Amino acid sequence: MSRVCELSGKGPMSGNTVSHANNRNRRRFLPNLNDVTLMSDALGQSYSLRISAAALRTVDHRGGLDAFLAKSKDDELSPKALKIKKELVKAQAAV
């Protein structure tokens, strides 16, 4: 399972861990990923996604999964999230 957020595309970063003696060793900064189930109001379905805590706050701020996907760029989304977005666009066009 990759350590990449399915909605924001946030992944591991690298940097240094610096000791008191200023010795530097390489390390990885991993995103805070959580397995969550989000509900789509337009589709009436729930989706299980692995997203970062920051992306979850953004979903809440924008007003739910549908609003987040409508505003997000396609190149940031995972294939699973992109599929949900295409279903959402198709459902909104039918209404």
Give the angle 75-2-7 at the CA atoms, nearest 5°. Answer: 35
pLDDT band at 43; cut points 50, 70, 90: very high
User: Considering the entire predicted model, what is its pTM?
Assistant: 0.86
Alpha helix ranges (H) inside 13-64: 53-62
CA distance 78 to 26: 28
Which tokens hold the place of 47?
A: 């989706």
pLDDT in tens, 48-84: 999 999 999 999 999 999 999 999 999 999 999 999 9
Q: Which domains does the chain have, with CATH numbers?
A: 13-94 (2.30.170.40)
- Percent of the chain residues topping a pLDDT of 70: 100
